[in-house]
A = this chain, B = another copy of it.
Amino acid sequence: MRAVCVIGLGLIGGSVLRAASAAGRPAWGSTKSEADADAARADGFEALEIDEALSRAAAEDALIVLATPVTAVRGVLRKIAEHAPDAWLTDVVSVKDPVDAEVRSVLPEARYAGGHPMAGLSSSGWEAGSAELFRGAAWAVTIEEDTSLEAWREAAQLALDCGAQVVPTSAAAHDSAVARISHLPHVFAAVLAAVGADGGPLSLSLAAGSFRDGTRVAGSSPELVRAMTEGNRSALLDAVDDALGRLGAARGSLASTGGLKSTVDSGYAARRSLEALATTTRTTTTVRLDGNAPERLRELGDLGGRVVALTPDTAQVELPTPS
């Protein structure tokens, strides 16, 4: 099993290091945070200086996992260029197009496929992580026309070893999707929390389940939320515009006719679609990892397909039956 070198040992990187180790893979990490490094060592893991960690990755032909905030990506890529320029490389950063562009610019020889596990943000740091964080979760692994199939396979295998299911997609499609289902929810939570608090202590005293649920992620670290949302600016602007359009339509309907039927019904149908995904039956398709694979895998990802197993030559994809 290929060794794993994780750069950044916060909630996500720390959980990858634990999960890869638990899957039996040789694994070590590095972090700028002395607190996270000490905590990782106290839990029995190897946290090395970054030069040492990357030299060892080159020596052992390891898969390097970039798990820093997006703002630190360029600096780490320069370090990798110094120690392991043709490394196997993936990342777990929440936005994919900007990371892809940095990798192409700084590390053109890297065997790279981007990744993004869809796991929580509301706590942070090594201590908040666990080997089980990714169990059953979706984990996007990007595949462009020129992505090396071997690099994609390496990144996807890591996700499977961590207990996740792989969603194959392009960087652009990923960024557009997560703007809608992760970044816009953070903006909505912040706006909702502020509008509620504007109502003063009486409003917060009366707040119950709907407000608690709708504002939960507003309690996440502001730095991480800003890095994530601001890092996906263009796709997030599209999602915010869609939301402004729908909210403005609700406003207009309520003001003119007094009714919210269209808003409420479309929200209900959408939520039902989400809930149906958890219980729907699934069919399994096998995709050969040949020259047609990138397009075929992205098509299946677009339909909600997830890779659940890999062989050297094939990917097994589970597809939800349309509702």
Contacts and interface: CB of A to CB of B under 8 A. Distances in A.
Given A207-B274, A226-B259, A184 B192 contact: yes
Number of copies: 2
Contacts of A205: 138, 167, 277, 301, 304-306
A211 B237 contact: no
A39 to B, nearest CB: 23
A51 interface: no
Interface string A223-266: 00110011001001101111110111011001100111101111
A207 B306 CA distance: 13
A130 to B, nearest CB: 15
A194 interface: yes
A291 interface: no
**Main DSSP-derived SS at the A contact region:** helix
Contacts of A201: 302-304, 320
A236 B250 CA distance: 11
Interface stretch (A81-89, A100-108, A115-123, A155-163): A115-123
Given A182-B211, A184-B195, 10 more contacts: A177-B206, A185-B214, A188-B247, A191-B263, A210-B217, A213-B213, A213-B214, A237-B254, A243-B247, A244-B244
15 contacts: A138-B205, A173-B202, A180-B195, A181-B204, A185-B211, A185-B213, A188-B191, A188-B247, A189-B271, A195-B243, A197-B269, A202-B304, A212-B274, A222-B268, A240-B247
